[in-house]
Structure 1
Amino acid sequence: MSQALTGIQKAAILMVALGTDHSANVIKHLGDAEIEQLTLEMANVGKVSPEHRDLVLEEFHQMCMANDYIARGGLDYAREVLERALGESKAFDIISRLSTSLKMRPFDLVRRTDPKQLFSFIQGEHPQTIALIMTHLPVDKAATLLASLSPDRQADVAKRIATMGRTSPEVLKEIEKVLERKISSLAPTDYSASGGIQSIVDVLNRTDPGTVKVVMDALEVDDPDLAEQIKRQMFVFEDIVMLDDRGIQLVLREVETKDLGLALKGSNPEVTQKILANMSSRAGQMLKDDMEFMGPVRLRDVEEAQQRIVKVIRKIEETGAIVISRGGSDEIIY
């Protein structure tokens, strides 16, 4: 019986049954510890009997169906459909396993919704509701959602995220009902940490520069102190002048020359001078020639090149090779 197998054994058998290509796509979404545990089990599983394989695949299929039913109409709808299809006992078993995982975090199905569909679904919601939902999304998806809003709502939602405190389970559950995503419940005494300065900084750092400008310009008018706090924790391309010569040289080793030329086409003279000062005369002249040869370029291409360089800088910062000053009296350490 499939129930005699542990969860990790079932996962290993499923990976073997799916084949290398599909298994590789699954593993990409796992954490290091999970990959290590699953890989070890796959190595030990040996030959899988047809009986075990079929039982695991059938259970996997039932769990997928249950998830689909939940996405369509919630946990109660899924339970009703499964009871009619598989019987009360089997349905209870499947729903119980799913409920355990679904209770781990709110808005789980919203996380898996395509950003365009999600925008269509929530665009009529109150900005506070949108802000709360965004704090429970991966930052890349939240950035896409923020960019999809109208300029006036972008600033409003950004401010609400930055100033949001902790949210009670009752509020989260009510919003999930409104969104027809009744898939999780939290313990009465549990509170979910939402929002804050770092939350909106993470979103803005992954948002296109045009949206960032709209949001920050509006916040500087509406709440200058808040705008200043956010700016201190953000890093934009022009902030490269905050790095000392060694830091800039580390960055120059990692960026593409074409990206550098494009990015500098839209930067101020101070940034260009700082970059050229950290290049050899020959390399600097080649860069200037490349920029001149480019001629007029699209603003979007310039912004995308700047974003790629900023990503390189953040990646280097994560390794500890550079530490970027976020304002105040802290110095840059290399």
Structure 2
Amino acid sequence: MSQPLTLTRPQKAAAILVAMGKPSASRLLKFFKQEELKALIEGARLLRTIPQADLERIVAEFEAEFTEGAGLLDSADKMDTILNESLSAEEMNALMGGKKPEVAAGAPPIWPELEKLDPSRLGTFLSREHAQTAAMVLSKLSPAAAAKVLLTLENPQRNVIIARMVTLTNVPETATRIVESQLRTHVLAETSSKDNAAGQARVASMLNEMDKSELEEVMRDMESSGIPDLAAIKARLFAFEDVLLLDQKARVALFDGLSSELVTVALRGAEPQVVEAALSSIGARSRRMIESELGQGSQNVQQKDILQARKEIAATAIRMAREGAFDLPATQPAEAA
């Protein structure tokens, strides 16, 4: 019977990483310190082939199940492949030359930039990453930004990440730099080329300055022309008449902060259902006052003042929705008309 191999701890770790294969091993390499990666490289270079029985013994020591499909492995070559495909050339040079990887000169801080992203975009990226990576990234964000990203993740994964954040200690600088590099490449770079949110907001702001009939005409033209991202633009639109599309809680929140004078002017000449939707969202005393004013007619009120009051209320609704008070309905002008 052949004697079992006598391996150092770095050699055992290298053997297990090789048995795991490149995808899984690459994810784990992010969490090794610089000196640990050096030890792995040196350990792997001293290996040749590992019999199945010895590999199973090593795996048992680590209480993991990585033996399926593992056989005789050329450990040194495979470790080189894993490292080369997981780390950049600069990072590999840093490992072998004793230098720390450096962030490109003049690169802006990454964490404030991540906080500006749509939470779902960052959440989608983190959902594909190891829970420890996600925990580290969220720990670098402000509590408010981290909470929004966390809520975009599915519950089982969310709980695992929270548990990791509770026990997270100081992250090695090398690991932090590697994660930052990946975020710059796969999140910020992609965002700068594909994120059209700013353009959608500009178009929506322009359209929100139009009255209902003008908006309907322009929207019909945009639909017939096949303008891209039309649904996203619609979701940012809101006209005074769209108070009908808000639920009662949102209407109450909207009209609660508006003056009776402004609401009275905006309701002059409005459709009965719009008037009722607004009046049902305010207090009884204010309602009686406004109804009394509306009963006196609109002969002395100019149309431009009515339109301005309605735009002011619509702008308030858009601002409150942007601040998270409620969600705007996806406006469909032709149908609402």
Q: Which has the higher contact order (CA 8 A, sep 6+)?
A: 2
Superposition TM-score, scaled by structure 2 size:
0.34
- Structure whose residues are more often helix by fraction: 1
